[in-house]
Structure formats: structure tokens, C-alpha cells
Structure 1
Amino acid sequence: MEGRETVVVTGFGPFRQFLVNPSWTAAQGLKVFGLGERIDVYIKEVPVSYVQTQKIIADIWQTLQPKFAVHLGTARGSSVVILEQTGKNSGYRDRDVCGFCPESHCCLEGGPEKLDSVINMRAVSKEFRQAGVDVIYSRDAGRYLCDFAYYCSLCHGGRRAALIHIPSSGRLSSADRLVPLLQTLIRTMLDQLEDPSDSQSQ
């Protein structure tokens, strides 16, 4: 059918105490809820592995060529939704679930030190906060697999990506509240992508 577009949503695989990662549960929920009738939602579970993450993200952009990619990560100890503006290239020193860490401590040797999403996350978070929702803006995604995946995606996808850290505790961590909120957040981002003037309201 003409006029359909793909949005990719990724969540992470098992990690430490999360035998099923809440970010993957949320991605599955978004597949069920959808993002509107003209959008095909493609979901992918990404292992907490630098090598696998790099390969999967590159593959997503090359084969699916989505309009937009949303990467969900779990913020341990957080009770708010965090919208990340920036992916960082270097400083990756923590080992992944395979016990591996990139020798260069980089996503992409020689790549820019940071990449920002085309979406103005500050404007999106402000809109939701004004409506009384606990959504905050951040420029530091933590230098682990979430940040790593985000940078790779921003790089491959012409910066048409988002990283949303979801809460691991509190009211918004329950799927029945979280998934509809994520649906609205992502649709707001897609509207901004369609009409960049939306992003100017700081």
C-alpha cells in the first residue's frame, strides 16, 4: 500500500537482574498498540553486546531504511521517562554481557565526538511536562550500550533516531501506563519530523 512508512523500535535483551528487559517488553507493547495507520512498526531485540548492537543497527538502516528509529533502554533506579538528545562516540569502558569492551572505547573510530538527534528533545519534554507528565530531557545517555546503540543509529540514519530511557520503578514503569505514553511521545516526534517548525518552540 502506498504511503506507508516504517518506524523501527528496539529494546534490549536480558541484563543483570532483568531476565526480560523492560525496554523489550515496552517495544513489544508498541508493536501491539501501533503508531498510526500509515506506519508499520518493526521491533527488534538487541543483545547487550557491543559487536551485536553495531551489526544489528547498521543492518536495520541498510535493509529497512526506516523513516525513524526509536531505541528504548531501561534507566535503573529512575521513575521518570528520559529523552536523550545526544549520542557520544567515545568513553565506552564498561564490559558488555559477553565480557567485551571495544579496544578503542569508541563507536566509530574517527567519527564525530557527539551526534544530536534531528528531534528537539527539549521541546518534546517541555510539552509533556506542561501536561503534567514526568518526562525529562538529557544530554548524557550514560556511555553504555544504550548510548552506543544511539550513536550508531544517529550515524547510520542521518540523525533520524531517538533514545528513550524508560523508568524501572514508580508509576510510569507499569506497561499499561508506559506504552500509551511512549506511543504519544513517538507520535509527537514523528510530527516534528514532518514539520520541523514544531521544534523551534524552546
Structure 2
Amino acid sequence: KATMCTVYQCFGPFGEHTVNASWVAVQELKKLGLGSEVDLHVSEVPVEYQTVQRLVPSLWKQYCPLVVVHVGVSGMATTVTLEKCGRNHGYKGLDNSSFCPDSQCCIVGGPDCIDSVIDMESVCKRVTASGLGVAVSVSKDAGRYLCDFTYYTSLYLSHGRSAFIHVPPLGKPYSGEDLGRALQAIVREMLELLDQAEEKIHCQQHLH
């Protein structure tokens, strides 16, 4: 059966990141592909809260994807980092338009934290065991800036069927090609886990 995955690049250039490693990595992933059974859609988004608030819902509405995987760069990261959850409050940093939400939160009245339905620890272990040559880790804090804001918004809309991957800047230590290979391996594992979960639910419904 055909599955669908939208990989949605969170950020364009911002601050010191005149070339955003996450966009380079996603472009490399697009070249590699995810196999004939996966419909892969890629887009780049400016570092702006209001743009995110508009585009994330339209993405889910337009594609009705199995999962959306957001990718962003972190200047502090030295590994490819799988984010377990998004957080609703604490957004005080100004975006590229010098804007910050008055509420300093993603969704007014939303829960403080939303976890992805994807088991990031399992994805990390599987990818590490595959001998990819790119270090992968798991995090519980996506940083309270546009990455975290985007992730929480997407998790809220999708009831947890989203993921966020932070990549380090280019050359610190990985090339764009390395990061693209890592994204390919990670997203394949995510899709495999989601597929297994769907089959389990289907079997349980059939038994009842």
C-alpha cells in the first residue's frame, strides 16, 4: 500500500545561519527519496511565527499526510537530534520580522507539552544500530523558538503524528550529504514504526 510522508523544512536563513543546514539536508533527502511507496513533499518556511501559524494548518489540510517531519538547524547540536515533544509556553525570542506572540505561547488553552506518537528512543536505537556513520540522539527540549513553536503547533493539529529533527550546522561535523542520508534512514524508521502501529490497531479492531 502507498503511504504518504510530508517532510516540511522549518526554517530558511536566520541570524548567523545564512545557509540553513536543515534546508540543505532536506534537499539532499529529496534527491535520495524514500522509495516508490512514499509520497514526499518538501517546503521551506521563513523564520516567522505568523507564517508558521498560517502554513502548518494548510499543510495538514492540503496533503492529509501520514506524518509531517519538521527539520531545523541548531547551532548547539553536534548530533542529529530527534525531539520527543513540543512545548506550548515560553516564546519570548523575536523572529525575522521582529515579532513575538503577545501570549508567548503556541495555542492559547492548549496543554503545556505534547509528545509525538513516534517512539524517538526506538528510532534512535534502530538508526544507530544500522551503522549509518552519523550520530543520532534524543532530546526533550526543542528550544522555545520557531522550531519548538512549529513542532507544538503541528503536534496539536495532528494529535501527535508529527516529528521534529534538529541537525547541526554544515561541517560541524557533517556534510549536507551526510545529513540527507541520516534523514532518509530516520524517516524510514519512523514510517516503519507508524506502519506497525496501524497494523496493530487494524488487527485489534478485526478481533473485536
Shared fold (TM-score greater than 0.5)? yes
Corresponding residue for residue 53 of structure 1: 52
Contact 2:25/2:177, CA 8 A, preserved across alignment:
no
- What 5-or-longer segments of structure 2 have no aligned partner? 199-208
Quote the offset at 1:25 in angstroms: 1.4
Task: State the partner residue of 2:190.
Answer: 189
Q: Which amino acid in the other structure matches residue 170 of structure 1?
A: K
Distance 1:50 1:137 in 2: 25
Aligned-residue offset at 1:27 = 1.4
Task: Tell me if structure 1 keeps the 8 A contact 2:81–2:167.
Answer: yes
- Pairing 1:87-106 to 2, within 5 Å after superposition: 87-106=86-105
Indicate if the aligned counterparts of 1:85 and 1:137 stay in contact, CA closer than 8 A. Answer: yes
**Aligned amino acid, residue 143 of structure 2:** G
Q: In the alignment, which residue of structure 2 is the partner of 1:200? A: none
Offset from partner CA, 1:24-54 (integer Å, 9 cap, x none): 1111222221111111110111110000011
- Counterpart CA distance in 1 for 2:30 and 2:159 is 24
Shift of 1:112: 0.9
Cα separation, partners in 2 of 1:19 and 1:171, compared to 1, 3 Å: closer
Letter of the structure 2 residue corresponding to residue 48 of structure 1: V
* Aligned counterparts of 2:58 and 2:102: Cα–Cα separation in 1: 22
Corresponding residue SS for 2:108? coil
Larger Rg: 2
Aligned to 2:151: 150
- Which amino acid is 1:154 matched to? L
Larger mean Cα displacement after TM superposition, 144-153 or 19-28: 19-28
Q: Where does 1:1-202 land on structure 2 (aligned, <5 Å)?
A: 3-11=1-9, 12-131=11-130, 133-168=134-169, 169-172=171-174, 174-196=175-197
Contact 1:93 1:105 (C-alpha < 8 Å) held by counterparts: yes
Amino acid at match of 2:53: Q
CA deviations on 1:9-38 (whole Å, 9 max, x unpaired) are: 122111112223111111122222111111
Give, as a single letter, the amino acid of the residue that structure 1 aligns with 2:19. Answer: V
Q: Supply the AA of the counterpart residue of 1:45.
A: E
What value does the CA root-mean-square deviation take over the aligned residues? 1.7
**What is the alpha-carbon distance in structure 1 between the residues aligned to residue 186 and residue 130 of structure 2?**
12
Q: Distance in 2 between matches of 1:67 and 1:131?
A: 24
- Percent sequence identity is 42
Cα deviations by residue, 1:134-178 (Å, 9 ceiling, x for unpaired): 111111110000000001111111211110000114332x01211
Structure 1 stretches lacking a partner, 5+ long? 198-202
Q: 1:129 Cα shift? A: 3.4
Question: Normalising to structure 2: TM-score of the pair?
Answer: 0.88
- Contact 1:23-1:74 at 8 Å conserved across structures: yes
Amino acid at match of 1:142: G
Secondary structure, aligned partner of 1:87 = strand
How far apart in 2 are the matches of 1:162 and 1:181? 15
Output the amino acid matched with 1:102: P
Alpha-carbon distance in structure 1 between the residues aligned to 2:93 and 2:20: 19
TM-score by length of 1: 0.91
> For 1:83-103, what per-residue CA distance to the aligned partner results, in whole angstroms no more than 9, with x for missing partners?
000000111010101000000
Structure 1 residues 21 and 159: CA distance shift in structure 2, 3 A: same
Question: Is the 1:21–1:74 contact (alpha carbons within 8 Å) kept by the matching residues of 2?
Answer: yes
